[in-house]
Structure 1
Amino acid sequence: MKSRVRLSKFSITLTTIITGIFIAACIATFDERPAFLCILGLLIVILLFSAIYAPIYVSANTHFIKVSSLLSGTIIQLSEIEHVELFQPTMGAVRILASGGYFGYWGTFRENDIGWYKASYGRASDCFILIMKNGDKYVFGCKNPQSMVDYIKNNL
């Protein structure tokens, strides 16, 4: 089973604005070499991290779940999962080391009710949580979260 990650309107807007500001800053500082290189370097680093961590799709088979990005992916073995259910992250989640909307939501977060978790999703309404046997928690999101949860439960 494979399902694409949909970005929220907020995430699309934030990504467009931030990228636009960086491009405008590069154009404005083109004649000032140190400032231009600094801004361009920062933009490249941000885009590289986004290409590594920003989710594109979630797939699952009888052995594992994979969240894929442009350059990387996270694989979780089904045998390590204790529980899976639909979940909606709150706006009160604290970003520990994470993106709060730039090309989606990805990284490490903390909420008062569930504690620390690693997340990779585009819309809060499209999420499900995996609770691992070792206590780790992962929040992933995709276009059809209920179907993905049902598929995972059937293969646990």
Structure 2
Amino acid sequence: MKQKVRLSTFSIMLTGIVLVILLCALYFSDSPVSISIISATIIVWCALSLYYMPLTISVSNRDLSVNRTIRTKRISLREISSIERLQATMLGWRVFGSDGWFGYWGWYRDKTLGKYFAYYGNEDDCFIVRLNNGKQYVLGCDNPDTIVNYIKSRYLIETA
């Protein structure tokens, strides 16, 4: 089972606007120092995005996978202690990562949820995966209920 991660309108607009601003600043820069700084910023931000930006969420017989551009994050289904849908209002503050630049990814913290790592494109499509070792992941994709219900029913994982 595989579901696509769609970016929110805010995320698409933020990414486009920031890229346009950086490219315009690069085009109109006269100083070699400013050209180097802007170029390095664009390269680093885009490289991080390529590494972390979620494209799809999939479930196999053994793993729940976050398929990213360069690498896949696999979470063993045996390690999952609970999985449940989240309301967008429950999502916390970014500690380190992206809060809209090519999606939402990185470390976040919330008063209710605690610390978690996020991979999602739209706040309305999220679910939380809690592992036996205490780690938590907030993931998001099209039809998140399908993924949550599939894992719960197929692998008999109880909700928290």
Give the TM-score normalised by the residue count of structure 1.
0.95
| Greater Cα offset, 31-40 or 57-66 | 31-40
What amino acid is the match of 1:21? I
Aligned length: 155
For structure 1, which segment, 134-143 or 84-93, has the greater mean C-alpha deviation from structure 2 after superposition?
84-93
> Which residue does the alignment assign to 2:96?
97
Aligned pairs for 1:44-123 within 5 A: 44-90=43-89, 93-123=92-122
Q: Distance in 1 between matches of 2:113 and 2:37?
A: 39
Counterpart residue number, 2:28 = 28
5+ long unaligned stretches in structure 2 = 156-160
SS of the counterpart of 2:104?
strand
Instruction: Decide whether the 8 Å contact of 1:78 with 1:155 is kept in 2.
Output: no
TM-score (norm 2): 0.92
Aligned-pair identity in percent equals: 39
* Counterpart-to-counterpart distance in 2, 1:57 and 1:8: 14
Q: Which blocks of at least 5 consecutive residues in structure 1 are unaligned? A: none
Query: Could you tell me how far 1:68 is from its partner in structure 2?
Result: 1.3
- Give the structure 2 partner of residue 10 of structure 1: 10
- 1:91 & 1:83 partners in 2: Cα distance? 17
2:34, 2:13 → 1: CA distance?
26
Report the RMSD for the aligned CA atoms in angstroms: 1.3
Moved over 6 A (4+): none
> Match of 1:113, SS?
coil
Amino acid aligned to 1:151: Y
